[in-house]
Amino acid sequence: MSFKIALLPGDGIGPEVIAAAVDVLKLAGEKFNVEFELKEYPVGGISYDKHGTPLTDEVLQACYDSDAVLLGAVGGIKWDSLQRDMKPEAALLKLRKSLGLFINIRPAKVYNALLNSSSLKADVLKGTDLLILRELTGDVYFGEPRGIDDEKGFNTMIYTKKEVERIARYAFEVASKRKKKLHSVDKANVLETSQFWRKLVINISKDYPNVSLEHMYVDNAAMQLVRDPRQFDVILTQNMFGDILSDISGMITGSLGMLPSASLGNNYALYEPVHGSAPDIAGENKANPLATISSVGLMFIHSFQMNKAAELIEEAISRTLSAGYRTKDIAQPDNVIVSTTKMKDLVIENFNIIYDEQALGVFTL
């Protein structure tokens, strides 16, 4: 088996976390007999400096020609004053749109070793393992008309039937393979868009009688996520609500540096850590590479059906953290603080150990 992956390291800490994740990717390829053809391309500020645009047609074509895209992060103060289309972040929007990525998946899982890194209480968090499925192409971010003048600012919140149905169906498929529990989050008490959303979700639910569906208003969902996150398994929600709820759920894991994400469409997939380019620590070998390494795990699950390899990555991360090793962003006073490359080496070491334990039957996933 062979897969083509476009690597887009980007700016700031992007190249550092991508380099770490690529080492893990290569190791998993060797162990599971999968060949990865990896090619690196510039995106974001680095692309602007070289080519005068944050995303060239050649790079976009390379993404079309690949089985998956792995992105680091883009952006930095140097490019902040550029006009909107030329900013590094514009590359992300163009990539998502061009590749037709309409589902954003953000898992929020708590590693026991990090229970005390969150601002939430450990006994509230313990055992949390939830997935937020955020619609990515519709809603108030893209609706027309929109505008601003001296008297008003306005946007249009709109969803089409096609947009709601395709993500709702996807959410029921995912829920049926997990705990068979789906929360659809909306604001149907106030917004017509949400009433439309809810009606279509209910219609689709008839095809999935084994999945229990619960509707929740977004304000309540925000409160419930903090009060008792364990009540959730899969959360399906509109673009803007997902934007906010996924950041709240981010705090469950304790750090931005821990959060992976996948953006999927019918034909393409892009994987990236949730964090940005962290210019404050770029080039210092301090960045936490675990979100990007976990994003490789999501790639294995959603693009390559390599679920076992993904589980091995998660277990390797878990053991590394349990042994007390941390990058600075997630460190507690009694931890051993390690660099980006050392953290990656430790994950690789544990990956190898778990792989061997598995072969000997000492450990089962």
Q: Which residues bind ligand NAD (CB under 6 A)?
A: 13, 17, 73-76, 89, 92, 256-257, 272, 275-281, 287-288, 291, 327, 329
- For the CB of residue 16, give the shortest distance to ligand NAD in the complex, in Å: 9
Check if the beta carbon of residue 324 is closer than 8 Å to that of residue 114.
no
Annotated active-site residue in 67, 129, 233, 247: 247
- For the CB of residue 191, give the shortest distance to ligand NAD in the complex, in Å: 27
- For the CB of residue 261, give the shortest distance to ligand NAD in the complex, in Å: 9
Annotated active-site residue in 85, 207, 219, 228: 219
Nearer to ligand NAD, 54 or 138 (CB): 54
Phi, psi (rounded to 5 degrees) for 314 = -60, -40
Nearer to ligand NAD, 73 or 234 (CB): 73
Active site residue 219: yes
> How crowded is the C-beta side of 218, counted as CA atoms within 13 Å?
23
Nearer to ligand NAD, 79 or 208 (CB): 79
Nearer to ligand NAD, 27 or 73 (CB): 73
Q: Which amino acid, 241?
A: F
Active site residue 57: no
Annotated active-site residue in 67, 233, 243, 345: 243
Active site residue 280: no
Residue 126: count of CB within 10 angstroms of its CB: 12
Annotated active-site residue in 87, 111, 170, 187: 187
Q: What is the separation of C-alpha 16 from the centre of its chain, rounded to a whole number of angstroms? A: 18
244 Cβ contact partners less than 8 Å away, ≥ 6 residues apart: 218, 222
Active site residue 243: yes
- For the CB of residue 337, give the shortest distance to ligand NAD in the complex, in Å: 12
- For the CB of residue 292, give the shortest distance to ligand NAD in the complex, in Å: 8
Active site residue 334: no
Nearer to ligand NAD, 37 or 85 (CB): 85
User: What Rg value do the Cα atoms of the chain yield, rounded?
Assistant: 20
- For the CB of residue 319, give the shortest distance to ligand NAD in the complex, in Å: 20
Nearer to ligand NAD, 182 or 287 (CB): 287
Indicate which residues carry an active-site annotation: 141, 187, 219, 243, 247
